[in-house]
Structure 1
Amino acid sequence: MSFKDFNFKPFIQSALDEIGFKEPTDVQKKLIPVIRTGRDLVGESKTGSGKTHTFLLPIFEKLDPSQPQVQVVITAPSRELATQIYQATKQIAKHSEEEIRVANYVGGTDKLRQIERLKSAQPHIVIGTPGRIYDLVKSGDLEIYQAKTFVVDEADMTMDMGFLDTVDKIAASLAKQVQILVFSATIPQKLQPFLKKYLTNPVVEQIKTSTVIADAIDNWLISTKGKDKNAQILRLAQALHPYLAMIFVNTKERADDLHAYLVSNGLKVAKIHGGIPPRERKRIMNQVKNLDYEYIVATDLAARGIDIKGVSHVINDAIPQDLSFFVHRVGRTGRNGLSGTAITLYQPSDDSDIRELEKLGISFVPKVLKDRIIEDTHDRDRRNQREKAYQKLDTEMIGLVKKKKKKVKPGYKKKIQWAVDEKRKKERRAANKARGRAERKARKQTF
C-alpha cells in the first residue's frame, strides 16, 4: 500500500512527496481510515510508529481554509513534542494554495506577542502545551469553541506530568460534537475517567509496530561519552572511506557547525538544511550527483525530500528527536540490493531512546573507534547486568544471611559464612559464563 491509495488532496500528496513518505506505517494504515469516518479514537502505539502524520493527514483533508476560525486543537505534554508537531504541520500547510494558519503555543514564549497576533486573526490549527493553550483560552484571546477536532498526543505522558486536569478544561471549552483523538504509548487505568467523560463510543485500537531496518544494513552503535564529538566524527569519516556518506544532525545550527569543522579538516562535505536558499540547494544537489562530495551533512526534513543515490554509509550525529525519523535516516543506505552501514553516536542520556528503538525491532551492534579502526566492543548494558548478577539474592541466600545474623554457636557461624561465600562464587561463575556466551554470540553475528 502507498499513500497515494488514500487519495488525499493534491497539496497533501505533494507534502508527502517532499519528505519522501511513500508507504504508510502500520498505525497509519489502520487508523487514518478510522479518523476519516469522524469517530472518536483511542490509538495505542509506541513512540516512533508514525502517530503524528496519522492524525495530521486526515485533519488537513477536512480543513477548510476559507473559514477563519480555529478548526483543530492539538496538545502535547512538552515544548519539544509540540514543536515537532508544529514543524510537521507547517511542512504540510506550506503546500496549500490557500493560506492555512498554524500556531504553536508553548511555555517560555512571548505571550503578549501571541495575544496581539490573535487580535488580527485566529489560527486554523492550534498546537501547544496544555498550560499555554488554556491560558489563552481562559483570557478569551484564543477562541476554540468552534473547533471540529481535538487531539491529545502522548496522553500517558500528559497524565504523568500532571497536565490532564488542564487538558480536561480545554476539552470542556470545546463544542460537544468535536471529534476527539487520543494517542498514547500506553492507556493506564487513571486515564479512563477522562476518556469516558469526553469520548463518545470511541474506536480503541492497539497497534503493534514491526518496524525494522533492512537486512542489508549493518547497524552500529558507538559511544561518545567523554569525547569531542566533532573530532570523533572526523576520525570516523576517515576510517570509513565511504563512496558517499550522509551525516544526519538534529538542527540547522549543528549542521553549520559540523560542516565548518569537517571542511576545515580537509574533507569534501556538502551541507543541506532548510536555511539554505532553493537555488543554492539545487546547485549543491547537482554537485552531489556529480560526486564532487564524499560526505553530506543534513537535517531530516531537508534530506528526506530529495533522492540521493549511492549512499554507502549513514552517520547519526545524534538520535533524532522524533524517533520515527531513525528508520528513514538509516534507510538511505542499503538500497537496490547493495549493502550499507549505519552508525549512531550516543551518550548515556540517550539510553531510553535506544530502548524505544529496540522495542520497534531495531537491533544494534556495539562498536568502538580506536586509532581510526572500528572494532567490536561490549554491550552498553554490561556493567548494569554485572552489578545485578552480583547483587541478586535468591531465597536460599536470603535464608543463609538471616541465619548468620542470629546468635548461634561460633562453629555454626563459620559453616554459614562458608555457605554464603560458596553461593556467591557460584553466582559469579554463572554470570561470567553468561557474559562469555553473549560476547561470543555477538562476535559470530558480526562476522
Structure 2
Amino acid sequence: MTDFKDFNLRPFLLDAVKEAGFKTPTPVQKKIIPLIAAGKSVVGQSQTGSGKTHAFLLPIFNQIDLSQNAIQAVITTPSRELAYQIYEAAKQLASKSETPIEIGNYVGGTDKQRQIDKLGHHQPQIIIGTPGRVLDLLKAGAIKLRQVKYMVVDEADMTLDMGFLNEVDQIASSMPEDLQMLVFSATIPQSVNEFLRRYMENPAIEEIPTETTISPTIDNYLISTKGRDKNQLVYNLLTMGEPYLALVFTNTKERADELTDYLKQQGLKVAKIHGGIQPRERKRIMKSIHRLDYQYVVATDLAARGIDIEGVSLVINDDIPTESEFFVHRVGRTGRNGMSGTAITLYKPSEEPKIQEVERMGVKFEPKNLVKGELVDTYDRNRRNKRTKDKKQLDPTLLGMVKKKKKKIKPGYKRRIRKAISEKEVRDRRVEQHQDFRAAKRAKMKQMRAKRNR
C-alpha cells in the first residue's frame, strides 16, 4: 500500500486526508487499516507519532452506517488532551462528508448533566472520551451501546497506569458479543494482556518497531547541565534561533510552573499545560496554541500524550522522563509528516543510567554543547566505555584490590577477593530491591492521583 486510494476509502475520506496534508500511509496505517477493514480485532503496539489515530479512524469512518442514528463506535483515551486530539481529527474527517456524521466528545471536568440531557434527545454515531466520563454516562442510561460495532482502547498502557482499566472493562462488557475490539498501546503489560484475553479471540497483533517511531528527520541532541543554570540554559536554547513552535517538557507541575514564570520574566510569551490547570482553561489554552498565539509551550508528560500541534519545530526535555517510554512521546511531537525538527534533552551526570535506559530503546543521541549562542559538537560521554568494551568491568574498590596483588600472594588473598565480590553483589541486590520498591510506590501514588482528578 503506497497510496490512501489503495484502501478503497470513501471519496470524502480521500478529500479529508489530502486536506490534512497526508501524502502516503505510515507503516502502522499500512498494516492496521486492511486488518480493521477485514473485520479483525487488532492489537497495535506503536508509539505516539506513528499515525495510529488515523489508522483506526479511517476504517471506522469508512464502514459506519451513515443512515443509522445510533452509537456505532466508542473510543476511550486516558487523558482529556488526547480525547480532544482524537476528536479534532475525527471532526476533520467528518467535515468532508455530505451526510452529517455526529461525533460526541465526553471527558471529565465538563458539564455532565448537560451531556445527559442532550443524549436523551439524540445519540451520536461515534463517541470519544475518557473512561470515567463514558462509564458515568453509561450508568446514567444516557448512552445506548447495543448497536456498537467498534471499541477502540487507545494508549492502553497509560489507561492501566492511571487506574482506568476497570472502567474500560465495565464499558466493554455492556457491548455486543460480536464487537470488533481495537487496542493500541506503546507497551503491553501483563494486566493489559489479561484484559485482551477476556474480549479478544485470536486478534491480529501488529508491533511497529521502536526505530520507526522517532523520525529520521529529527536532530536528537544531548546536553549536560553540569555547572550551568538550567533555567538560563533553557531560555538560551529557546531564543538561539526562531522556532516556529517550541515545546518544553518537565517532569512535574511544580517545575512547569517555575520554568514558565522564569521564561515570562525574561520577556517570552509562554503557554503552560499540565494536569493542575482546570479543564476549561486547558481547552482555552490549547485553542490559543493551535491559533499560534504562543511560540513557546511548557507542558508535563500527561500532555505529551495529548498534544498534537502542527509545526512543532523544537522540543526540549527539561529533564529525562520518569518513565523512559515518555521520551518517545515527547520527541514525537516534532518531525511529523516528514518535516524536520530538533529535540534537545538536558541531563545531569548523575542521570547517566536514565540516558542509557533510553538508548536501550534504540534512541541515538548526538552530544552537544551551547557555546556563544550556537550548538557545537562535544565529546562522546561513552568514550571511556568504548575503549574497554571488551573487558569485564569490576567495581572500582574491587579493581583496586586486584591491582595491589603482588607476585608473592599472601595467604587468604583470593578468599578476601571472593568475599568482597560477594558483599558487593549483596549491596547491589539491595539497591535494586529499593529501586523496585520506590517505582511501585510511585506507580501507586500516580494511580491514586489519577482517580482523585477524574
Query: TM range, normalised to the smaller chain?
Result: 0.5 to 0.7
For the Cα contact (< 8 Å) 2:169–2:195, is it kept in 1? yes
Report if the CA contact (8 A) 1:211-1:360 is conserved: no
In 2, Cα distance between equivalents of 1:355 and 1:65: 50
User: What is the Cα deviation at residue 145 of structure 1?
Assistant: 2.1
- Alpha carbons 1:323, 1:353 under 8 Å: kept: no
Aligned to 2:315: 316
Report the AA paired with residue 155 of structure 1: A
Is the 1:41–1:202 contact (alpha carbons within 8 Å) kept by the matching residues of 2?
yes
Alpha-carbon offset, residue 45 of structure 1: 2.9
Select the residue among 330, 339, 342 that pairs with 1:332.
339
2:342 aligns to what? Answer: 342
Q: 1:226 aligns with which of 211, 226, 230?
A: 230
1:61-80 correspondence to structure 2 within 5 Å? 61-80=62-81
| Structure 1 residues 42-441: aligned runs within 5 Å | 42-211=43-212, 218-221=219-222, 226-227=230-231, 231-233=235-237, 235-237=239-241, 246-249=244-247, 301-303=309-311, 314-316=313-315, 324-328=332-336, 331-333=338-340, 342-344=342-344, 361-377=362-378, 397=398
Q: Is the 8 A contact 1:25 1:50 kept in 2?
A: yes
Residues of 2 paired with 1:49 and 1:40: CA distance? 19
Instruction: For 2:186 and 2:342, locate their aligned partners in 1 and report how far apart those are by CA, in whole Å.
Output: 27
Mapped to 1, the partners of 2:8 and 2:379 lie a distance apart of 49
Please state whether the residue corresponding to 2:127 is helix, strand or coil: strand
- The structure-2 alpha-carbon separation of the partners of 1:131 and 1:2, relative to structure 1 and needing over 3 Å to count, comes to same
Q: Is the 8 A contact 2:73 2:125 kept in 1?
A: yes
Conserved 8 A contact 1:72-1:147 = yes
What amino acid maps onto 2:124 in structure 1?
P
User: Is the partner of 2:335 in helix, strand or coil?
Assistant: helix
How big is each residue's C-alpha offset from its partner over 1:170-206, in whole Å with a ceiling of 9 and x where there is no partner? Answer: 1111112221112222333333443232223322233
**Structure 2: how far apart are the matches of 1:4 and 1:110?**
40
- Conserved in 1, the CA contact under 8 Å of 2:309 and 2:333? no
| Paired residue type of 2:132 | G
* Structure 2: runs of 5+ lacking an equivalent: 250-259, 270-285, 298-306, 318-326, 384-392, 402-409, 421-454
2: CA distance between counterparts of 1:142 and 1:381?
A: 56
Amino acid at match of 2:315: N
CA distance in 1, matches of 2:37, 2:19: 23
Deviation, structure 1 residue 160: 3.5
One-letter amino acid of the counterpart of residue 83, structure 2: A
Cα deviation digits, residues 297-348 of structure 1 (max 9, x gap): 89965549xxxxxxxxx4336789675443317x424xxxxxxx73546689
Q: How many angstroms does 1:71 deviate by?
A: 1.1
Give the equivalent residue in structure 2 for 1:11: 12
- What CA distance in whole angstroms lies between the structure 2 residues aligned with 1:134 and 1:380? 50
- Specify whether residues 247 and 174 from structure 1 end up closer, same or farther in structure 2 by C-alpha distance, changes over 3 A only: same
- Report the 3-state secondary structure (helix = DSSP H, G, I; strand = E; otherwise coil) of the residue aligned with 1:326: coil
CA contact (8 A) 1:211 1:362 kept: no
Q: Is the 8 A contact 2:135 2:171 kept in 1?
A: yes
Q: Residue 369 of structure 1: CA displacement?
A: 2.5
Distance of 1:356 and 1:13 partners within structure 2: 41
1:81 Cα deviation (Å)?
A: 2.9
- What is the distance in 2 between the residues matched to 1:203 and 1:28? 14
CA 1:328 to 1:276, structure 2 compared with 1: closer, same or farther past 3 Å?
A: closer
Distance 1:91 1:222, change over 3 A: farther
Q: Structure 2 length as normaliser, TM-score?
A: 0.61
Measured in 2, the distance between the counterparts of 1:368 and 1:117 equals: 56
Structure-1 separation of matches of 2:328 and 2:188: 25
Cα distance in 1 for partners of 2:66, 2:360 equals 39
Contact 2:214–2:332 (8 Å) recurs in 1? no
Deviation for aligned residue 1:125: 1.4
What's the secondary structure of 1:200's corresponding residue?
A: coil
Contact in 1 for aligned 2:33/2:59 (Cα 8 Å): yes
SS of structure 2 residue aligned to 1:43: strand
Number of the residue aligned with 2:439: none
Provide the secondary structure at the position in 1 that maps to 2:35.
helix
Q: Give the secondary-structure state (helix, strand or coil) at the position aligned to 2:75.
A: strand
Larger radius of gyration: 1
Tell me what 1:430 maps to: none
Q: What is the SS of the residue equivalent to 1:16?
A: helix
Counterpart position of 1:38: 39
Indicate the percent of aligned positions where both proteins have the same amino acid. 44
Change (3 A) 1:357 1:136: farther
| Cα deviation 1:231-252 (Å, max 9, x = unaligned) | 4256411xxxxxx86334599x
Distance 1:2 1:223, change over 3 A: farther
* Counterpart-to-counterpart distance in 2, 1:47 and 1:413: 58
Secondary structure at the aligned position of 1:11 is classed as helix
Aligned residues: 355
What SS does the aligned partner of 1:246 have? coil
**1: CA distance between counterparts of 2:237 and 2:396?**
49
TM superposition shift of 1:148: 0.9
Q: Which AA in structure 1 matches 2:342?
A: A
Change (3 A) 1:342 1:47: closer
Amino acid in the other structure paired with 1:226 = K
Distance 1:346 1:154, change over 3 A: same
What is the CA distance between 1:34 and its match in structure 2? Answer: 0.6
Structure 1, gaps ≥5 residues long: 238-243, 264-272, 282-295, 305-313, 334-340, 383-391, 401-410, 422-447
CA contact (8 A) 1:154 1:183 kept: yes
Answer whether contact 2:334 2:342 (CA < 8 A) is retained: no
C-alpha distance in structure 1 between counterparts of 2:193 and 2:163, whole Å? 15
The verdict on how the C-alpha distance between 1:44 and 1:345 changes in structure 2, with shifts beyond 3 A counting, is closer
Once the 2 structures are TM-superposed, how far is the Cα of residue 18 of structure 1 from its aligned partner?
2.8
